[in-house]
Amino acid sequence: MKVAAVVINLLYFLLLAPFLEGVMRKITARIQSRQGPPLYQPYLDLLKLLGKENLNAAGHPVFRLAPLLALASVLSAIALLPLAGQSSFLAHSSDLMTLIYFLTLGGFSILVGALASGNPFASVGASREMMTIIMLEPVLAMTLILGVVRAGSLGLVSVTEGVSTNRGLSYFLMMAVYLVALQAFVSRQPFDIPEAEVEILEGPYVEYSGPNYALFRYTLNLKRMFYSWLFVAGFLGFMLPGNIILCLVIQTVLILALFVLISVIGATHPRFRMDQALKFYGILLLLALLAVGLGVRGW
């Protein structure tokens, strides 16, 4: 069963993630008075990209390895997630820190691939991506640490449950911080600065095309879904031990709702500039720190 949980989780994310992008695009289109592509369009995009030629701007293996590692690390993080309140069989050799570092590894691979391409636009994007990771990964970490502080364990089940056990001041503060940071986690306006198409042409990905780019796109989709999942599982606490199907259904509905929110915010804001965003992130960091402090004090 526990082995199956890993597979179910992986399949659940792999299958649903592109659909969520479809939802995002549809809603954005509607806000912009457009029809928008069909909901299944992202699947077609991925398939199309897989069939294209792979262009390698660097000519060396690091460039080739980066997309593989990016997808693998995000999938690794997903493989660790509990399913329906039950820990996966990897729980005995992994914990919160593993999860956080796997996510960082995902970002790291994008950077390495970008720098490998040698394109100045990719380098600017990489520089921005890294700054975003530096400033925002701690917000994710602190959300989970709030759970650690409550649960006294780094196990993922206890941590996700821990976040919402005490709905006090710290819980609501952290929830607000996370919701704002979510926009950056999923790289939507106002925080899609590392990709900023009109300035640096999708930044880190500028040299990637075809299947390599498909992997990056997939990674991005999975990451978006992951961060939304974390909000649903952590703050809303719908883990429903035992009933996998029901749990998955409720999860899906809530994640969809969250994506609607993300799309609406994304469609109604312009993009920040990096220096402005950094100040913003700084404030988020302090608030998250405050929330953890309150959490330790039991509020």
Which region, left, alpha or beta, applies to residue 85 given φ > 0 means left and ψ of -120 to 50 means alpha? Answer: left
Q: Which amino acid is at 153?
A: S
Stretch that binds another protein, among 55-63, 174-182, 233-241, 250-258 (CB under 8 A): 55-63
Question: Do the Cβ atoms of 40 and 47 come closer than 8 Å?
Answer: no
**How many C-beta atoms lie closer than 10 Å to residue 170's C-beta?**
24
Question: Do the Cβ atoms of 291 and 142 come closer than 8 Å?
Answer: yes
Residue 216 contacts another protein per CB under 8 A: no
Residue 274 contacts another protein per CB under 8 A: yes
Using the minimum distance from each CB to another protein, give the nearer residue, 168 or 199. Answer: 199
CA 232 → CA 24, 227, 258, distances in Å?
17, 9, 8
Residue 59 contacts another protein per CB under 8 A: yes
Using the minimum distance from each CB to another protein, give the nearer residue, 79 or 255. Answer: 79
Using the minimum distance from each CB to another protein, give the nearer residue, 111 or 232. Answer: 111
Q: Which amino acid is at 211?
A: P
Question: Do the Cβ atoms of 85 and 35 come closer than 8 Å?
Answer: no
Using the minimum distance from each CB to another protein, give the nearer residue, 57 or 260. Answer: 57
Residue 299 contacts another protein per CB under 8 A: no
The residue from 51, 241, 246, 283 that contacts another protein (CB under 8 A) is 51
Residue 149 contacts another protein per CB under 8 A: yes
Cα–Cα distance measured from residue 24 to residue 27, given in angstroms and rounded to the nearest whole number: 5
Contacts of another protein in 118-147 (CB under 8 A):
118-121, 123-124, 126-127, 130-131, 133-135, 137-138, 141-142, 145
3-state secondary structure of 86: strand
Residue 79 contacts another protein per CB under 8 A: yes
Stretch that binds another protein, among 85-93, 172-180, 221-229, 235-243 (CB under 8 A): 85-93
Please state the three-class secondary structure of 210-263 as a single string: HHHHHHHHHHHHHHHHHHHHHHHHHHHCCCCCCCHHHHHHHHHHHHHHHHHHHH
Residue 169 contacts another protein per CB under 8 A: no
Contacts of another protein in 176-195 (CB under 8 A):
189-190, 192-193
Contacts of another protein in 6-45 (CB under 8 A):
28, 31-34
The residue from 12, 16, 117, 171 that contacts another protein (CB under 8 A) is 117
